[in-house]
């Protein structure tokens, strides 16, 4: 396939204020509006919002479409998993949220152990999984990825001249990344389970670079790290098989374990904690010394103007005259999560055409 470079505006991911604003949008997706939320980050002076999927008792994908006051930029924000023990509370979407999590981010239809009820009939004994079966299961009508494609097409129809960006937290961030891979739209996802395996199973495009997709997470959260696994993990106890660890695009990794002395705990998965402790004006995370000025990107990446409005030349300097970085440096996911340029999901599983039959989904 012959790829063409496109010059598009995108969020300035080097700025804490950018991540704070997008993170606030991701947080606000867990409520229909500020009148129904106990907490709500007010961004109304710069953005208008329209909720989607919030009809009474609707159990599908939910979120908000945020539109800038001049209609130049639209941000599709997708709600993450609702689960009382996790971060998003309860509600009518709990069942479908779990099904989408277990289909997108598990090795084989959430086959964690013999007592588990899988989300599709693709397990073939031992550690064998039928690839064609899983791929067919992911095409099922009503799953959130398919709903997201329709949503994106509707938004682009309504705002044909606007820049379309995507964001979300947890499951919402994973879905945003899959949609961004599909359409080439800029994405900033927060604490999302790794979606590379799902993107391969969906046969999504593989351009020369996917650095328009940025994952933001902290290493005290076991979910994006692919560490909330095993039958004794809190994820498994809650019925979630979040087994993947390799993301698409690039990663902004907050080392909260070493620098803030956080313990690895599923309670560090919440988007509110990330906003308050890492991104807010009085956050615990402090700017880091930038060292030598980095070389400007070339090729495909240079075509992406990573600026909220315009790319800034450098990070702000402190009184000591040194240049500091507001947020951790974005690095290719393969460098952050891989070893010697290789990141492997589900290494103990065998994948192939074993069953030669159509997936049967619950």
Q: At a CB cut-off of 8 Å and minimum separation 6, what does 21 contact?
A: 43, 46
> Active site residue: 170, 199, 298, 353, which one?
170
Query: Could you tell me the strand order of the sheet in which 213-218 lies?
Result: 47-52, 63-68, 73-78, 163-169, 187-190, 213-218, 250-254, 331-332
Nearest-CA neighbor of 195 among 78, 92, 353, 355? 78
Query: How many CB atoms within 10 Å of residue 243?
Result: 26
Q: Which two tokens stand for residue 245?
A: 């660890």
- Maximum Cα interatomic distance, the chain, rounded to a whole number of Å: 66
Task: Please say whether the beta carbons of 174 and 195 come within 8 A.
Answer: yes
Query: How many CB atoms within 10 Å of residue 347?
Result: 8
Q: At a CB cut-off of 8 Å and minimum separation 6, what does 267 contact?
A: 273
CA neighbours closer than 13 Å in the CB half-sphere of residue 172: 33
Is residue 170 annotated as part of the catalytic site, yes or no?
Answer: yes
CA distances from 211 to 52, 231, 250, 338 (A): 28, 34, 6, 16
Catalytic center residues? 170
């Amino acid at each position: 396939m012959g790829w063409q470079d496109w010059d598009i505006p995108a969020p300035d991911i080097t700025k804490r204020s950018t991540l704070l604003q997008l993170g606030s949008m991701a947080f606000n997706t867990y409520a229909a509006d500020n009148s129904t939320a106990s907490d709500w980050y007010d961004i109304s002076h710069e953005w208008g919002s329209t909720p989607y999927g919030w009809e009474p008792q609707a159990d599908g994908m939910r979120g908000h479409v945020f539109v800038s006051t001049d209609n130049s930029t639209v941000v599709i924000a997708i709600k993450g998993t609702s689960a009382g023990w996790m971060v998003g509370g309860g509600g009518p979407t709990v069942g479908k949220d779990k099904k989408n999590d277990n289909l997108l981010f598990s090795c084989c239809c959430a086959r964690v152990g013999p007592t588990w009820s899988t989300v599709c009939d693709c397990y073939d004994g031992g550690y064998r999984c039928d690839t064609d079966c899983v791929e067919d299961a992911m095409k099922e009508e009503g799953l959130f990825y398919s709903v997201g494609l329709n949503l994106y097409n509707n938004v682009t129809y309504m705002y044909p001249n606007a820049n379309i960006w995507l964001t979300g937290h947890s499951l919402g961030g994973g879905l945003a990344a899959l949609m961004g891979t599909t359409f080439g739209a800029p994405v900033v996802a927060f604490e999302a389970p790794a979606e590379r395996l799902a993107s391969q199973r969906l046969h999504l495009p593989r351009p020369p670079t996917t650095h328009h997709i940025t994952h933001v997470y902290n290493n005290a959260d076991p979910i994006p790290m692919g560490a909330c696994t095993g039958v004794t993990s809190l994820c498994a106890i809650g019925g979630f098989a979040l087994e993947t660890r390799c993301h698409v695009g690039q990663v902004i990794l907050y080392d909260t374990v070493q620098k803030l002395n956080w313990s690895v705990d599923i309670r560090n998965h919440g988007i509110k904690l990330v906003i308050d402790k890492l991104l807010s004006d009085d956050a615990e995370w402090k700017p880091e010394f930038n060292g030598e000025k980095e070389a400007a990107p070339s090729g495909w990446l240079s075509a992406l103007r990573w600026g909220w409005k315009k790319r800034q030349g450098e990070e702000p300097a402190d009184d000591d005259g040194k240049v500091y970085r507001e947020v951790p440096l974005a690095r290719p996911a393969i460098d952050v999560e891989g070893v010697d340029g290789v990141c492997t999901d589900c290494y103990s599983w065998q994948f192939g055409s074993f069953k030669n039959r159509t997936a049967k989904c619950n």
